Structure 1
Amino acid sequence: MISRVSLLLLALLGWSAPSLAAPPVIKVGVSGSVPFVFSDTNGLEGISVQIWEETASRLDRPFVYVSQPNSEANIDAVSKGVVDLAIGPISITPDRLANPKIDFTQPYFHGQEGLMIPARPPSLWSRFKPFFGWAALSSLGGLMVLLFVVGNLIWLAERRRNSEHFPRPYFKGVGNGMWFALVTLTTVGYGDRAPTSRTGRTIAGVWMLMSLLALSSITAGLASAFTVSFSNLEPSAIRERSDLRNKTVAVVAGTTSETWAKFYGARPKQADTLPQAIALLSSGDVSAVLFDRAPLRYYLQQNPKAPFKMAPFSLATQTYGFVLPVDNELRTPIDVELLQLQRSGEVKQITDRLLN
């Protein structure tokens, strides 16, 4: 009887011990900047943090955060077993995927590599500079050439039979011819100078038709100059990707920004954090800040008076995922929960709330 009771107690203890044992606490390495990772009065917040916490809640797994200085240090902590999982704006790249010690979950965010550049107020010279540009000068030069040619042709045709309007002396006669051409071009029609010969009238008729095209070209050139002159912002020295060549740009250490800077021929200057990179731009030490577009946009939204703007192009498309040790048992459960969060629209709600 005693042996049966003992066996029963042992059996009960043996079966109940595993069910009562709590799952191990996950050590989560966290790195990055706003809007993916930041601290407030409630602790850590951000896109990466909220998506992970929602995933951990669905998996019913306890965790503790371990702060890391940047993405590379966070990945290295996973590969060395210092942390069990790395979260933050960690982009999935071929080099990182080739690391035999780590693995990525499926992407939870699709972002772009962007560029923040100065937005300087227009100087007095920049207001008038377009009027000395190719568009305005070519229009004015073309007009003067046409008036000179037509003035000469009218003078040659009229100087003998109509010397009263177009005198035989060259400068006075051609001057009257150019005056006639200008009056005809502007459709003022004073009538103080007019050709009387058949040849002169033929030249005048052709000029009347040509002046319609000439006036349109001149108007377009001057309109372009006026548009640039009275724009609110001075054109930036970086207008397209090729303008990055040989420019010094600020990048955040431990991110893929340095790789993209070198790819486009720029000279990267490292900063430990995004605020430090922006400080380099403020002091004029760099021409731009190259970083993920979402944090840069977030900074401009929070600082609308900052003298910066986003470049009108993206440098690369990136995907962010969580980092795990290779063959980790959490990989598939996390992928399942991330996919469900995306299909339910919760990931979009989180990103929209923090980005807008």
Structure 2
Amino acid sequence: MFRRFILTVFLLISCPFSSILLAQSEPIIEKTPLKVGVVGYLPFSDYNEETFRGISVELWQEIAADANLRYSLIAQPGIQVGIDGVVAGELDVLIGPISITTERFQKVAFTQPYFNAQIGLLVSAEKVSVWSRIRPIFRVAVISSVGGLFLILFVVGNLMWLAESRRNPEQFPRQYIRGVGSGMWFALVTLTTVGYGDKAPITKTGKIITSLWMLTTLVAASSLTAGIATVMTLLLSAEVIKDFTQVEDIRDKQIAVVSGTTGEKWAQIYQSRVLPSPNLEQAIERLKSGQAEGVMFDVPALRYYLYQNPTAPLKIADLAVSFEDYGFILPLDNKLIRELDIEIVKLKQSGRLEEIIEREIKGDFENQ
């Protein structure tokens, strides 16, 4: 009797602990399917005719199958839209080529990184055309400078003609066109400090105008000479520099980016003239049409584009902007994070993740 009593007490005490241990050892099984947002670009993700594919999609499918997770895939129009969906509770997970950044860590949680990517620059591979060489001459700044110079010469020429034509008609004829022309010639040779000596003022007013003009040309001549030298250097150089070899080369350049990506952030950091685009295709079209001098984006996507479009006159510049890791996104303090991390590490150690990447990219990295 006493033994039965002791056994009963022992069972009553041990039952709660047994249930706790069992609960801890069981995998997490969601009662409702997870809402998984899919964002990005090939070779990582793509949505076509109700079918999802890509490295990120296949990786998630492997993880979900091994962890017994039920889910539904939902296409997202952009990374920022997907992140906002996770923050608002509209999505449980966001998958795709999503760069892990400190700014995003403040809003959401990331899994273990599953891919290391580089931010690069897509540029034109075409040879420099004649128009590219002479185009600096037709810039607004150059044209306006030349126009302004002509206007000043015209004004000075008129003043000299008014001051000298009556008492000095041999050098400044009384006829308006000839006289003003002589005045402009006099102003021009004075500006260039050539001073042929074929014309000289004899009136007090003419000498005052000439003195003021000479003082003005001391400043104007140096600026004009520097501007002309710059334009001529570009015009006569054997090749217009279009290659980007260091990040400083993109300063003040027209760089197309995809809105909301880290490529846009880096273009702003390096003080480029940023041209936001809704997607990679439109950004590349801006480069092809000459609106942009480069496209800043993730190198895997740029390489994949070149792999799919081998005849495109484009290339990836020998320039490393930044290196970033890709991860999946979940809400902060989500209980699935640890389990997903374990599954990603398993796929890495088994070599399965590398197999997925190589198959999706189809040897692109080795061929580029």
Q: Shorter-chain TM-score: what band? A: 0.5 to 0.7
Residue number among 34, 55, 66 corresponding to 2:42 in the alignment: 34
Aligned residue in 1 for 2:94: 86
Tell me if structure 1 keeps the 8 A contact 2:244–2:319. no
Aligned residue in 2 for 1:298: 304
What is the correspondence of 1:5-16 to structure 2 with a 5 Å cutoff? none
> Alpha-carbon deviation of 1:255?
1.0
Matched residues in 2 for 1:123 and 1:328: separation?
56
Inter-CA distance 240–101: structure 2 relative to 1 (3 Å threshold): closer
> Alpha-carbon deviation of 1:40?
4.7
Tell me if structure 2 keeps the 8 A contact 1:73–1:254. no
Question: Could you tell me the TM-score, scaled by structure 2's length?
Answer: 0.58
Matched residues in 2 for 1:260 and 1:302: separation?
26
Alignment of 1:350 onto 2:356: yes
Matched residues in 2 for 1:330 and 1:104: separation?
11
Alignment of 1:266 onto 2:279: no
Matched residues in 1 for 2:123 and 2:331: separation?
38
Residue number among 46, 64, 68 corresponding to 1:56 in the alignment: 64
**Deviations along 1:231-273, whole A, 9 cap, x unmatched?**
xx98634232211000011110121111100111212111111
Tell me if structure 2 keeps the 8 A contact 1:84–1:325. yes
Inter-CA distance 101–257: structure 2 relative to 1 (3 Å threshold): closer
Identity of aligned residues (%): 41
Inter-CA distance 332–247: structure 2 relative to 1 (3 Å threshold): same
Residue number among 113, 116, 124 corresponding to 1:118 in the alignment: 124
Inter-CA distance 307–234: structure 2 relative to 1 (3 Å threshold): farther
> Alpha-carbon deviation of 1:41?
6.2
> Alpha-carbon deviation of 1:125?
10
User: Which one is further off, 333-342 or 236-245?
Assistant: 236-245
Tell me if structure 1 keeps the 8 A contact 2:112–2:344. yes
Matched residues in 2 for 1:271 and 1:101: separation?
24
Aligned residue in 1 for 2:144: none
Tell me if structure 2 keeps the 8 A contact 1:91–1:321. yes
**Deviations along 1:163-198, whole A, 9 cap, x unmatched?**
xxxxxxxxxxxxxxxxxxxxxxxxxxxxxxxxxxxx
Alignment of 1:76 onto 2:91: no
Matched residues in 2 for 1:320 and 1:312: separation?
22
Matched residues in 2 for 1:112 and 1:40: separation?
26
> Alpha-carbon deviation of 1:25?
0.2
Matched residues in 2 for 1:26 and 1:124: separation?
58
CA RMSD of aligned residues (A): 2.4
Q: Which runs of 5+ in 1 are unaligned?
A: 1-17, 127-232
Matched residues in 2 for 1:244 and 1:280: separation?
16
> Alpha-carbon deviation of 1:35?
1.1
What is the correspondence of 1:195-210 to structure 2 with a 5 Å cutoff? none
Residue number among 298, 317, 321 corresponding to 2:323 in the alignment: 317
Aligned residue in 2 for 1:194: none
Alignment of 1:278 onto 2:284: yes
Matched residues in 2 for 1:124 and 1:102: separation?
51
> Alpha-carbon deviation of 1:348?
1.2
2:302 match: secondary structure: helix
Aligned residue in 1 for 2:228: none
Alignment of 1:329 onto 2:301: no
Amino acid of the structure 2 residue aligned with 1:250: A
Tell me if structure 2 keeps the 8 A contact 1:120–1:234. no
Inter-CA distance 64–313: structure 2 relative to 1 (3 Å threshold): same
**Deviations along 1:145-179, whole A, 9 cap, x unmatched?**
xxxxxxxxxxxxxxxxxxxxxxxxxxxxxxxxxxx
Inter-CA distance 342–84: structure 2 relative to 1 (3 Å threshold): same
Alignment of 1:244 onto 2:250: yes
1:290 match: secondary structure: strand
1:32 match: secondary structure: coil
1:86 match: secondary structure: strand
The ranges of structure 1 where at least 4 consecutive aligned residues each deviate by more than 6 angstroms after the TM superposition are none
Matched residues in 1 for 2:54 and 2:90: separation?
23
Tell me if structure 1 keeps the 8 A contact 2:244–2:318. no
Matched residues in 2 for 1:125 and 1:257: separation?
30
2:252 match: secondary structure: coil
Matched residues in 1 for 2:100 and 2:313: separation?
32
Aligned residue in 2 for 1:199: none
Matched residues in 2 for 1:33 and 1:90: separation?
10
> Alpha-carbon deviation of 1:121?
3.1
